[in-house]
Chains A and B, each alone.
Chain A
Amino acid sequence: MDLLRFITAGSVDDGKSTLIGRLLFDTKNILADQMEAIERASKSRNDGEIDLALLTDGLRSEREQGITIDVAYKYFQTPNRKFISIDAPGHIQYTRNMVTGASNADLAIILVDARHGVAEQTRRHSLIASMLGIPHVVVAINKMDLVGNSEDAFLEIAKTYQDLALKLNIKDLTIIPVSALNGDNIVDRSKNMPWYTGETLLSVLENVNVLKDKNTTDGRFSVQYVIRPQTEELHDYRGYAGRLQSGSLRKGEAVKILPSGTESKIARIEFGGQEIIEAGVFESVTILLEDDVDISRGDMIVSVDNSPIVSQDIEALVCWMDDRKTLKAGDKYLLQHGTARTKCSVRSIEYQIDINSYEKLDEVESLKLNDVARIVLRTAQPIAYDPYQQNRANGAAILIDETSNVTVGACMVE
């Protein structure tokens, strides 16, 4: 059985948490004591209706305000697949938390309130999904019951969304009319919308092909740690511990160490101390080389005939996440890419992207919290990257503020 990570995004009252609650409830993944706790909490609040949203709003202030502030993870399974649901906040103030949730998602569910149609938040969340390269997007047009389950209303919103999607990079788009509150087209097909003949939400979640989304062609291995037991019997053992970011590597394969460019051959690959012949994408293994070369944390081992770009000058889309300081040309940060960390300085802000209209804004002086822009960076050491849209794992980087140590930027290298 495999695993699907999906994020749900939408505006404040679009019913995201209710949707997750509904998915868990209808797939029988809510346990008796959890249900009782929700019933108790529902009774002490508002009108006593069972509020499935209470399942995911885990923090005291979230329950008090009735909003989602930070990403909540929920786990459930059906006979066909295991799911990690990432419930992301909808409010613009918490966009950085949505980006956090979106960075690891295979699929995004974007909720649209059928009464209001495509809203500013829909546009923003769609841009983030596209920018972060989430391979599958499902637009769930929710609260269909409140527009009389009208096919015309659905088609109109769907058309508006399709036009919007043309401006973005969305590889696989599905649009479904739902009612999270009533459970229509979530797990079971709705009797209220006989005109809808497409898939239910759960059916999309269960059937989307995630294996195809993985980059299996570019062999990239970031060295995390050097294993040197230095015992008598393992005196000369030198194993490079790391994870295949993409592609695969085989015993006997000719490889190159980056950024130095030194070449060698894979002598042995181990998993948990046992020899294996080949390591595939996302596997955590240990690699031993034939030659005694100087390798440490931050270096990358790649296939000799398929090399990433090695450069100190990089351009990236950045989502700025610091609420205390802005980003300006000339600012210096630490860039973390794979396991490598290097100082970098911001050469320039090329343009900012208006996250609602998608327009490019020129001559921008500085970026503030939740701004998205294309920036040019110069790094102290070269980094070995692939363009993000080809290789999510090896095109991603973060900016760290050296004084506060906080993660302040999400970079998608282009």
Chain B
Amino acid sequence: MSNEVSMSISVKEASDLSDQGNIDRRKPDYLDQLEAEAIYIMREVAGQFERPALLFSGGKDSITLVRLAQKAFAPGKIPFPLVHIDTGHNFVEATDYRDMLAEKTGSKLIVRYVEDTIKAKNLKEPTGKNASRNWLQTFTLLDTIEEFGFDACIGGARRDEEKARAKERIFSFRDEFGQWDPKRQRPELWNLFNGRIHKGENVRVFPISNWTELDVWAYLQREGITLPSIYFAHERECILRDGRLLYNTPVIEKDPDDQIVTRQVRFRTVGDMTCTAAVESSAATLEEVIAEITVSRISERGETRIDDQQTEAAMEDRKKGGYF
């Protein structure tokens, strides 16, 4: 096991909207513009759909979404549930944070487990080096959408993350099988989002499409939001594999070439443990993390995501199959 992380998980700031006094809102600032756009999109979802949901993972992008949703509907509660598709291989810091944030914001939390889908559908789990359940989330996600009849699912994907995502609309139409058809996307004009669908179809909505990784970090800092502790430097026992640092957890199948090392690391993205790599770092605060990322010469997914490295069109293929 890794050393216990001493930083406490506090979500007081994340759910508290009262401390915005010192922001000069009159200055034209790109963060204000991005925020206003995202809030507008959130409200379009609430206005156009009957059963929306917010896909929440415990990662920084979905934490940003929750903040935006709070601001969009204050002083009311967020008018849709938070939904987490849990691979069972998530970081405990992230799932603890998820539970607390749902409680603090008074949101309904729905968790569905990939493990259950694997059993119920008798799915074959990938095995071997770099095996990950990440892709299997699609099955659980589509089942969950059907179970609750969700007509819109809000997600934290950003266009700067990956080149297939760079092509996707903000209101991304999915057919009754959850599939994305990149060649037949609906035209999306001005700020006029068309959320009309037939029963069984759904729309994935990405309010922070136009944000970059740095915008998200800067926003979290500006809003004074405390993140799960794994985003900050801590000692952790890791598997060193092909130059990447993976958390040394039993859910990762070991390879003869793996080395077990203890390093000072932080996570730049937080996803499934099997496909999320850590970066060596001493950054202990948001400011220090932002400083490191600003000078980093490697992209977020390139540095930390193992699932995208397999082929040039890995994300496009997953999305066509119904992935987030």
Contacts and interface: CB of A to CB of B under 8 A. Distances in A.
Q: Contact size class for A? A: 35 or more
A297 B47 contact: yes
Interface in B106-161: 159-160
B30 A82 contact: yes
A209 B160 CA distance: 25
A100 interface: yes
B192 interface: yes
Nearest to A234: B75
Nearest to A272: B71
Interface residues of B, number: 60
B74 interface: yes
Interface string A163-185: 00000000000000000000000
Q: Most chain-B Cβ atoms within 10 A of its Cβ — which of A37, A239, A339, A400?
A: A339
Interface stretch (A7-15, A140-148, A195-203, A222-230): A222-230
Interface string B176-206: 0000001101111111101011100000000
B189 A273 contact: no
A288 B36 CA distance: 18
Interface in B27-72: 28-30, 32-37, 39-40, 43-44, 46-47, 70-72
Interface in A43-90: 55-61, 63, 69-75, 82, 84
Given A99-B187, A272-B74, A405-B194, 13 more contacts: A2-B30, A31-B297, A33-B298, A33-B299, A37-B302, A41-B312, A103-B190, A104-B191, A234-B76, A237-B76, A271-B71, A336-B194, A398-B189
Contact of A70 (B33, B182, B194): B182
Contacts of A63: 312
Interface string B186-228: 1111111010111000000000011010000000000000000
Contacts of B30: 1-3, 82
A70 B165 CA distance: 12
Interface string B231-271: 00000000000000000000000000000000000000000
A229 B76 contact: yes
B297 A225 contact: no
A321 interface: yes
A274 B187 CA distance: 36
B69 to A, nearest CB: 11
Contacts of A72: 163, 166-167
Contacts of A400: 194, 196
B63 to A, nearest CB: 16
B20 interface: yes
Contacts of A239: 75
A375 B35 CA distance: 36
B12 interface: no
A396 interface: yes
A3 B211 CA distance: 11
Interface string A385-403: 0000000110011101000
Interface of A: 1-3, 31-34, 37, 41, 55-61, 63, 69-75, 82, 84, 96-97, 99-100, 103-104, 211, 224-225, 227-229, 234, 237, 239, 241-243, 270-274, 276, 280, 282-284, 286, 297, 321, 334, 336-339, 392-393, 396-398, 400, 405-407, 410
A272 B20 contact: yes
Contacts of B166: 56, 58, 72-74
A241 B187 contact: no
B164 A407 contact: no
Nearest to B315: A58
Contact of A100 (B71, B159, B187): B187
B298 A32 contact: yes
B190 A243 contact: no
A282 B167 contact: no
B298 A273 contact: no
Contacts of A34: 299, 302
A75 B17 contact: no
B299 A282 contact: no
Nearest to A31: B299
B312 A31 contact: no
Interface of B: 17-18, 20, 25-26, 28-30, 32-37, 39-40, 43-44, 46-47, 70-77, 159-160, 163-164, 166-167, 182-183, 185-192, 194, 196-198, 209-210, 212, 296-299, 302-303, 312-313, 316
A104 B313 CA distance: 28
Contact of A225 (B43, B163, B188): B43
A273 B303 CA distance: 38
Q: Most chain-A Cβ atoms within 10 A of its Cβ — which of B33, B71, B163, B164?
A: B163
Contacts of A406: 186, 194
A100 B185 CA distance: 11
A103 B194 CA distance: 15
A100 B189 contact: yes
Contacts of B17: 272-274
B302 A225 contact: no
A80 B25 CA distance: 20
A109 to B, nearest CB: 18
14 contacts: A2-B28, A31-B302, A37-B312, A41-B312, A57-B163, A70-B183, A225-B43, A229-B76, A234-B76, A243-B40, A336-B192, A393-B190, A398-B189, A398-B190
Given A241-B73, A339-B47, A405-B194, A58 B316 contact: yes
A271 B33 CA distance: 13
A286 B39 CA distance: 11
Nearest to B297: A32
* In the complex, the 7 A-B pairs of residues with the closest C-beta atoms, listed nearest first: A273-B74, A58-B163, A33-B302, A272-B71, A284-B39, A405-B196, A229-B76
A407 B43 contact: no
A271 B74 CA distance: 8
Contacts of B316: 58-60
B189 A284 contact: no
Contact of A273 (B25, B71, B167): B71
Contacts of B163: 55-58, 72
Nearest to B210: A84
Given A393-B190, A407-B186, A407-B194, A274 B20 contact: yes
A227 B160 contact: no
Contact of B75 (A33, A96, A273, A283): A273
A208 B164 CA distance: 30
A270 B312 CA distance: 46
A394 B47 CA distance: 19
B298 A393 contact: no
A299 to B, nearest CB: 12
Contacts of A338: 192
A321 B187 contact: yes
Contact of A407 (B73, B187, B191, B296): B187
